[in-house]
Structure 1
Amino acid sequence: MIIDLTHTISPETFVYPGTPRPAFSPTRTLAQNGARETLLQMGSHTGTHMDAPRHILPDGCGLDQLPPSQFCGRAAVLDVSHLSAGSYITADFLRQQNGYLRSADYALLYTGWEKKWGTEAFLSEPFPVLDEEAARYLVCCGLKGIGTDAISVDPLDCGEYPAHHVLLTGGLVIVENLCLKKLVGRKDVMFFALPLKYAGADGAPVRAIAEFRDFPEKEMMEE
């Protein structure tokens, strides 16, 4: 079974404060040209998207420099929707998932914020984020990346992006604005998030999907 984890991008799509909204305009039409073509104008971090090290780090690599293997892997889906608005996901909580995380390539954080998508609350209410120690712990787990259904892994009013710095310096990619509700409680998730490949990509929209798979019994027992 394939599950789509991606929000559809439209001119009404929520964007990070200060980022221009997407704009679509036809460049060719069926009536005039016999084919449709659309000019897409949007920021590189629009909708369900991936952050590259280049997004934050002066000498960070772009998504175009990473191998395709970076963009897929087994996912540990962590339900943190019990946390109140503005709470921090701590390293102590993550340590309780140690075996599960150590057998995964991606940690996907379900905060419950995807239910607010399309409402003002998605941006106006503070969502659960990682504290700096938790971000360091995830780096130590040897992951390829982390995902969240919120718009960031750092608070919107935090201009220094501590979790971003730790994760991206540690070689992880970050996927934001995911749809994760259908994955909660599953431990058989294979995750794919394929970004647009353009030169110097600091980030890019992705088509994120999940596939339910039977993993080897030994890996399951390690959890």
Structure 2
Amino acid sequence: MLIDMTHTITQEIPIFPGTPVPALAPACTLTRDGFRETLLTLSSHTGTHMDAPAHLLQDGRTLDDMPMSQFSGRATVLDVSQEGPVITEEFLRANYEAIHCADFILFYTGWEGRWGTEGFLEDAFPVPDEAAARYLVSRGLKGVGTDAISIDRMSDSHLPIHHILLKDSVVSIENLCLKKVRGRKDFLFFALPMKFEDADGAPIRAFAELREANEAERRRR
């Protein structure tokens, strides 16, 4: 069973303050041209997206320069919706069994439920502290994700968590849809970024493959 973990890009999509609002306009129409095409104008960090090391680091790699293996692997979703504003190293160590084999750690903060409201941009969602971020890097992860708009506190312009992750080529994935996989452990996760030259980040199509569900379906047939 495949579960979509991606928000649809619309002109009303929540955006990080200062990011250009996306525009979707008809480039060609059935009436005029006999076919449809849409002109898309959007930031590389619009909607459900991935940050490359080049987003913040002078010599950081771009997404188009990273191997495809970076964008898929085993994932675990940790429910941090009741943890308060800070995800600590102590919390992560207490969940060692859930994360020790993961390639991606995804944080369900509950902010997905605020999508499309002013509350989504409230700067109170749980984020890792620096010790927790360093612990995540020590696990050899491919990526860290969240259903919130940022893996850092929005008010912290230094973006320390981004820097800790990205300098070790741990990509950051933001604005995920995690409600349907809340608390899931060890499933296949795919986060496939749009490929364009010198990509400092890109919108992604993120989805989960739940193999046990597929096996149960086959047994019922």
TM-score (norm 2): 0.94
- Could you say what the CA RMSD is over the residues aligned between the two structures, in angstroms? 1.0
Q: Deviations over 1:69-122 (max 9, x none)?
A: 1000010110001123xx110111011122322201000100000000000010
Q: Tell me if 1:96 matches 2:94.
A: yes
The 5-angstrom pairing of residues 136-215 of structure 1 reads: 136-214=134-212
Q: Tell me if 1:17 matches 2:22.
A: no
Specify the code of the residue in structure 1 equivalent to 2:102: A
The 5-angstrom pairing of residues 33-72 of structure 1 reads: 33-72=33-72
* 8 Å Cα contact 1:102/1:142 also seen in 2: no
Specify the code of the residue in structure 1 equivalent to 2:101: S
Give the CA deviation at 1:49. Answer: 0.3
The 5-angstrom pairing of residues 75-86 of structure 1 reads: 75-84=75-84
Specify the code of the residue in structure 2 equivalent to 1:140: S
Q: Deviations over 1:36-63 (max 9, x none)?
A: 0111001100000000000011110100
Counterpart CA distance in 1 for 2:64 and 2:179 is 29
Aligned to 1:124: 122
Unaligned runs of 5+ in 2: 213-221
Displacement over 4 Å in runs of 4+:
none
* 8 Å Cα contact 1:188/1:213 also seen in 2: no
Q: How many residues were matched structurally?
A: 212
User: SS of 2:27's equivalent?
Assistant: strand
Counterpart CA distance in 2 for 1:144 and 1:157 is 26
* 8 Å Cα contact 2:194/2:203 also seen in 1: yes
Counterpart CA distance in 1 for 2:24 and 2:183 is 37
Unaligned runs of 5+ in 1: 215-223
Q: Deviations over 1:133-176 (max 9, x none)?
A: 11000000011001100000111110000000000011111110
* 8 Å Cα contact 1:183/1:189 also seen in 2: no
Counterpart CA distance in 1 for 2:24 and 2:182 is 34
Identity, in percent, stands at 59
TM-score (norm 1): 0.93
